[in-house]
Amino acid sequence: MSWLDLQTIKAGKLEIAYHEFGPRDGAPAVLLHGFPYDARAYDEAAAWLAEQGIRCLAPYLRGFGPTRFLSPESMRSGQQAALGADLLAFMDALGIEQACLGGYDWGGRAACIVAALWPERVSGLVSCGQGYNIQDIPNAWKPAAPEVEARYWYMYYFHTARGRTGLEQQRRKLCRHIWSLWSPSWAFDHGTYSATADSFENPDFVEIVIHSYTHRFGGVSGDPDYEEIEARLAEQPTITVPSIVLQGRDDGLDPPAIEDFDRPHFDGRYQRRIIEGAGHNLPQETPQAFAQAIAELAGNVR
């Protein structure tokens, strides 16, 4: 995968940049990155999947890389409903009626949202980290266990003027530190990090990141255009499509619990897999495990 492969398409409020691999007539799979990462997380997984005849599309989320808003008037929202709406618009723009969706962090949230609200568009779901990755915003004020709250330091940091300035002025150092904390067993090198860190120079990166982490706790309003979607997500809808949840044993943000707390949110074929040697950025750290899960579900396209 290289920047020479970059394509763009107008979808909803965005001109979305994306990489595509594999045959155009192959079963489609949309691979979605999280924060603070980008589409390069799927370099190896997408290459392997393409060899298996699967059409892989890896878009850059709003606020990342070359993806841009079509209008300067659009709210730079990072709320979950916006991410889900972007994914649906991306599929519509490309004429993809149904796809296997895979992702983690923000991207996993977008995938879960589309799988929950528009299941007819999803052949299968591979959700990494938090398996059921739809935020329960009405109850976000309830504190988690102290050890969990400590892992959320960056969210609270972004609620402050100091945190916003830190993200503006030191985004590369800050995000690299997050990589190290969330993937303590991943020995990524400078070149690997730099290839992704360029995506943080997007002019909307800071605004969208700050909005995402303040909106999820009810601190700011969302984009009015997504109110209907947020209302549906507040009901914590069940995911009915065939699903595989992958959790990295070494995930420094969302370490897997002994009990599978995600299972009650899924109604249908479901499997949870704990991946040894993987942290938060599971598709890039253990690409074969991620790609295999996608390959297992992509064939369900009907």
Digit-coded pLDDT (tens) for 110-128: 999 999 999 999 999 999 9
- The pLDDT tens digits for 28-58 are 999 999 999 999 999 999 999 999 999 999 9
- Section 193-221 average pLDDT: 97
- Section 148-155 average pLDDT: 97
Q: Which two tokens stand for residue 215?
A: 């909106």
Confidence band of 20 (pLDDT split at 50, 70, 90): very high
Mean pLDDT, the chain, integer: 96
Residue 158: pLDDT over 90: yes
Bridge partner list, 122: 99
pLDDT (0 to 100) of residue 5: 76
The domains of the chain, with CATH numbers, are 3-298 (3.40.50.1820)
Residue 216: pLDDT over 80: yes
- The pLDDT tens digits for 229-278 are 999 999 999 999 999 999 999 999 999 999 999 999 999 999 999 999 99
Distance (Å, whole) CA 123 – CA 118? 11
Upper half-sphere CA count for residue 33 (Cβ side, 13 Å) = 28
